[in-house]
Amino acid sequence: MNITFTQASGLQDSIYGNYQHPIQRFVERRGEELEQTTLLKDLFLTSKTQNYGDTMTAMTAMSGFEPVGELGAHPLDGMQESFRKHLPQEVWKNSFQISREMVDDARIIDMKKQPDGFLISYLRTREQFGAALYGGAIKGQGQIQFKKKVFDGTSADGLTLFHKQHPAKVSKKTQSNMFADAFSADALGRMEERMQKFRGDTDELLDVAPDTIIIPNDADLKKEVFAAIGADKDPVTANNAFNYQYGRWSVIVWTYLDDYIAEGTKPWILIDDKYNKLYGGAVWNDRIELEINSTVDSNTNANVWWGYSRFNATFNDWRFAAIGGMPGGDQLKRA
């Protein structure tokens, strides 16, 4: 994590001066440790930007080469812009303070607890925001409320991320990435097949190849998932036939999703991490990484640490993901 520190003029000479650099080093070291635990890098295309907002789009595929024979003319091919999505950068702020009394009493442990909790709250907010977007998609919400503010949870085609009728820009054909089937080894194979047959805006076959399973922290669902992919032999056959799902999947158990799961449901998500990173399915843009400004409040004599950051996230190309276990979704039949 890149953390930028700014200290007010004269603070180094104040009573807090001896504690500024030790606390700063602690915050930097702790930030690096905590950054390793985030799942956002596995669920979003994370990028840095210098813009107020970014417009995301894609170009449709060309029709391809044609056989024209000897001295045949070159056919004119072309591309057009696909759906567009704009992502403005949101401002995020927080603060904490170290009281004069803490310094007077040399309460070093308390002084370290404050910045530690501050950093944890920052990374937790980012993780919760990402989960709110995915959780809102699971609940079928196009507008997602997080910390009293509404964020856009639709994909570039204007529909929720998981939907039964995603339209193609050119061919106008619709496709579904929302299915009712509960998780099983067979359902996993059928959803993988369905995603491998996702088509682009001109009805071209894409290179979608799901490689990651995302589930909430549900004990029964975890058992079913790891039973399906965790052994090289098929446990449901008498002769233990080869299990072709073994060793092919990464599994993310995302506890932050639990708050968005309706009682009695067990949704499971497949994503193609490579497609997501290449085409921007779920996009996370960082405009300003965490900046911390340290000042002394003239009224309370407290050492106040202000945190400032700008980032935002949204969905763009829905084809990177599909969901199962959704009441009202399509049945996973052969595409």
44 domain residue, yes or no? yes
Instruction: Tell me the longest C-alpha to C-alpha distance in the chain.
Output: 91
Q: Region of 131 please: left (phi>0), alpha (psi -120 to 50) or beta.
A: alpha
With a cut of 80, say whether residue 131 has pLDDT above it: yes
Neighbouring CB atoms inside 10 A of 243's CB total 19
Per-residue pLDDT band at 221 (split at 50, 70, 90): very high
pLDDT for residue 8: 61
Write out the residue range of the structural domain in which residue 143 sits. 4-59+86-156+163-324
CATH number for the domain harbouring residue 237? 3.90.1690
Higher per-residue confidence, 150 vs 236: 150
- Whether residue 285 contacts residue 49, with contact meaning beta carbons closer than 8 Å, is answered with yes
pLDDT for residue 79: 61
Mean pLDDT value of segment 64-92: 80
Distance CA 335, CA 326 (A): 18
pLDDT more than 70, % of the chain: 81
222 domain residue, yes or no? yes
pLDDT for residue 192: 97
- Whether residue 131 contacts residue 256, with contact meaning beta carbons closer than 8 Å, is answered with yes
Tally the residues of the chain.
Answer: 335
- Whether residue 272 contacts residue 208, with contact meaning beta carbons closer than 8 Å, is answered with yes
* Residue among 329, 323, 320, 311 nearest 156 (CA): 320
301 domain residue, yes or no? yes
- Name the H helices within 105-218: 108-138, 185-196
3-state secondary structure of 294: strand
81 domain residue, yes or no? no
Break the chain down into helix, strand, coil percent, rounded to 5: 30, 25, 40
Identity (one letter) of the amino acid at 77? D
Mean pLDDT value of segment 71-75: 78
Residue 78 buriedness (CB in 10 A; 0-12 / 13-18 / 19+): exposed
Residue 325 buriedness (CB in 10 A; 0-12 / 13-18 / 19+): buried
Tell me the per-residue pLDDT of 256-279, one tens digit each, with 9 for 90 and over.
Answer: 999 999 999 999 999 999 999 998
Distance CA 316, CA 296 (A): 43
Q: Region of 67 please: left (phi>0), alpha (psi -120 to 50) or beta.
A: beta
β-bridge pairing 143-146 and 149-152: antiparallel
* Residue among 189, 65, 44 nearest 127 (CA): 44
Distance CA 206, CA 240 (A): 34
DSSP state of 330: B
67 domain residue, yes or no? no
pLDDT for residue 16: 62
281 domain residue, yes or no? yes
76 domain residue, yes or no? no
pLDDT for residue 142: 94
**Least confident among 69-73, 126-130, 284-288, 310-314:** 69-73
CA quadruple 240, 245, 249, 251: dihedral sign = negative
Per-residue pLDDT band at 78 (split at 50, 70, 90): low
78 domain residue, yes or no? no
pTM: 0.85
Identity (one letter) of the amino acid at 20? Q
With a cut of 60, say whether residue 12 has pLDDT above it: no
Place of tokens 């409320």: 145
Transcribe 189-253 into DSSP letters: HHHHHHHHT-B-TTS-B------EEEE-S-HHHHHHHHHHHS-SB-TTSTT--B-TTTT--EEEE
pLDDT for residue 144: 95
The pLDDT mean for the chain works out to 86
**Least confident among 32-41, 102-111, 211-220, 278-287:** 102-111
The total of structural domains in the chain comes to 1
β-bridge pairing 90-98 and 303-315: antiparallel
Distance CA 31, CA 252 (A): 22
